Amino acid sequence: MLRINTVGAGAVEYLLRGSGCAAHRGPEQGAEQGTDGPGYYAAAVEHGEPEGRWFGSGIVALGLPFAAGEAVVAEDVRAVFGQLRRPESSEEDPVYLGNRPRKYRAVEERVERAIRREAGVPAEERVEEIRRAAEADTRRSVAYYDWTFSAPKSVSVFYAALLAAGADGEAAAVRAAHDRAVETAVSFADERVAVTRTGRHSGPRSRAGMGTFERGQGTTWTLWGHSTNREDEPQLHTHGALLNRTATADGRITALDGASFRGLKQAVDAVYQQALEQLVTAAVGVAWRERPDGHAREIAGVDQALMDAASTRTGQVDARIAALVEEFRSRTGRAPSAAAMHRIARMAVLDTRAPKSADAGPQALRRWARAHSRELQGALSDAAEAAAQGQPVRGERAEPVDRRSCWGRRWSGSRAGTRCGTSGT
């Protein structure tokens, strides 16, 4: 599944604190080891999450001193994604990537200012009207777009099952398949979202005429891999932070046309899902089934109840959405519109978002796997049986292979030193 959110200038700490990040450069190495210091980022890497890495074909065109695949450094991310500032410049004497980010007032501040301008004390209906207008004003300074690629829940549970069984090699192969699928999807997007627009694109025509679209010279990303959700449950996902800047052919640095993402989102998600399925199948030889809602495919044999046990965040968000919808109906006397539902859904996610635990990541994942070891062992056995009824493992053999005996023996702890489809003697 792919989700895209806009993120304003200054909001980079989640990227930095949620994933491994290389230590600061320079004399700060001896600075205090607080939650924002070098020790914090080193600890994140030690906990097992991969370092964030630069990605995209637009890095050179922006004149940034990085290369695709290079590990990120915290201060560089804060400068580029947090302030749209060149990392070699300082906060005291900044050199921006394109125009300086605009600052817009928050919704509550706009509501308070509008109420103060009213003659007398406005009625409750007028306050609600003011609030609706403020919420409808979606102007914000966008520093980057968070493209979050989440594996189907069965893949994350299967990954946890392999870890619980001690099959670290196969587990690493599943995670690598997810990483490669993300890179495939981001490369697909990179070729298509480097578009900017200039001039007026709505309202009355200006003297200069209507606005134009221009193709940029690639896009710039950082990719951050995570293995758990905020409840420390299995969830393989990657945050692809897409910088809201591209360079035109004549060297100008401008913002991306974020509105164009809407038409590409499903295509990018489809590229990710298809690549993931192919790569996971090639790595560990599973079979797949259609999900009842038709939105994705899951690994055959992974029980829905086990997936639900790893999805308590979904239940929390759904319950909060229902409560917010009821509040909206009580306050306005009508059902929320599609736009209002979008805002309610985002509010529900934020309202139920707990801070990640101190050991979020592989350590928390293994703890969850130990607590569900019996069910996970059964998932491996059931997935093996489902795969035996499907396609050959890794395309190596045309004849049927008894994957139940192989997976049940090898991935439940009785490591005979053989691989699937070969004799154990």
Q: d(Cα 43, Cα 40) in Å, to the nearest integer?
A: 5
Helices 373-388 and 362-371: angle between axes, nearest 10 degrees:
90
Q: Compute CA distances 234 → 27, 307, 309, 407, whole Å.
A: 38, 9, 10, 21
For the segment 365-394, what is each residue's pLDDT rounded down to a tens digit? 999 999 999 999 999 999 999 998 864 334
Q: d(Cα 93, Cα 89) in Å, to the nearest integer?
A: 7
Q: Compute CA distances 148 → 24, 82, 130, 314, whole Å.
A: 26, 18, 33, 16
Q: d(Cα 177, Cα 278) in Å, to the nearest integer?
A: 9
Which pLDDT score, from 0 to 100, does residue 210 have? Answer: 59
Q: d(Cα 194, Cα 191) in Å, to the nearest integer?
A: 7
Which pLDDT score, from 0 to 100, does residue 9 have? Answer: 72
Tokens found for residue 368: 């969850």
Q: d(Cα 399, Cα 292) in Å, to the nearest integer?
A: 30
Q: d(Cα 365, Cα 227) in Å, to the nearest integer?
A: 7
Q: Compute CA distances 154 → 45, 296, 376, whole Å.
A: 26, 11, 11
Contact 74, 22 (CB under 8 A): yes
Tokens found for residue 234: 């299995």
Q: d(Cα 128, Cα 134) in Å, to the nearest integer?
A: 10
Q: d(Cα 238, Cα 163) in Å, to the nearest integer?
A: 19
- Please give the angle made by the CA atoms of 330, 331 and 337, to the nearest 5 degrees: 90
Q: d(Cα 384, Cα 240) in Å, to the nearest integer?
A: 33
In the chain, domain spans: 2-103+139-199+212-315+354-371
Q: d(Cα 196, Cα 189) in Å, to the nearest integer?
A: 14
Candidates 338, 354, 315; CA nearest to 323 is 315
Helices 153-164 and 362-371: angle between axes, nearest 10 degrees:
80
Q: What is the pTM of this model?
A: 0.75
Q: d(Cα 422, Cα 419) in Å, to the nearest integer?
A: 6
Q: Phi, psi at residue 320, to the nearest 5°?
A: -70, -35
Tokens found for residue 298: 């899951």
Ranges in the chain, pLDDT < 50: 19-45, 201, 391-409, 411-425
Candidates 126, 15, 118, 114; CA nearest to 73 is 15
Tokens found for residue 56: 């995209």
For the segment 146-177, what is each residue's pLDDT rounded down to a tens digit? 999 999 999 999 999 999 999 999 999 999 99
Residue type, 270: A
Contact 213, 196 (CB under 8 A): yes
